[in-house]
Structure 1
Amino acid sequence: MPTTRHIAWAATFVAVAGSLTALSPGLASAGIHGIEFEQCDTAGRNCVTPTSFVVGQSYWIYAPYDGTSTNTPMANFYDNGTCLGGGSHSVAWVPLTPGTHTISNTGGSWSDSTTVTVVAAPAGSPTPQQPKQGACTGGGGSFGSGSSNLLPGS
């Protein structure tokens, strides 16, 4: 049989848990979010989640984040196994070829990936270039696979 003391402890626990949830809803709904994409205007403002991906357009890729951690995750980012950049929470990505692209990232003891379809740019569009960013460290991609037209010597 529960004693008055057990009931009091249980009531106190429920009250504290309820208070913490009410005071910090971010903690209550915390969870690791997957890879996220944004497309911003040329000034780097007015960012939105893209509904499609087009060769030559610029996008930002963000590493998974729980939204509450005091440490922003640092990651290596890959497009079909080819390094896009590393040592950051995000990288700029300019798809160079149409088709299926597996975007992956690794950091510490975790990794994540997602697949997107990139459509061709309109005829007459300039030749796209992937911006140079920090190097990937610790492996994870296959340099020179050609999946993003980032071949050695190109």
Structure 2
Amino acid sequence: MTRYLQAVGWLALLVFLLPALGYVLVLLVSRPRPPVAFGSWYGVFVLAWFLVALPVMALLWVIPALPRAAVAAVVVYLGLLVVPLASGMARYPLHIIRCGHLPLVGTTFAAGYTYTTSASPAYAVTPLDDRFFCSREEASSAGFRESRT
């Protein structure tokens, strides 16, 4: 039981602290800043990531605590990249790295095919947002139009 609790501690560190530090970094370098609503949605995403990783970690009982937590965190994160309503939240940080700035956020919800820029007051990332673009040209070539809100 002690080894499992150690692994839970490592998992919490990997799943909560590292993304939180990344989010703080995004807040520090982003102009304009992402809205508070994103932090709320991202918090729910990270909590779900942690809870889903717990049983995965329990299945890996033969591995030492830190590697077990790391494997569980990575396996669940990779799974969340393809799960509807979670994949956008999982892919958003990867697109910040890919673009080198906050990406344009696109949604296909209700066949809208719209995107918002980071300069827009409506800029947010929610579970319904499923596409990210580095430029307006990239979004337009994919058939998206800028949101009017």
Q: Same fold (TM over 0.5)?
A: no
- Highest CA radius of gyration, 1 or 2? 1
Greater share of residues in helix? 2
Provide the TM-score with structure 2 as the length reference. Answer: 0.31
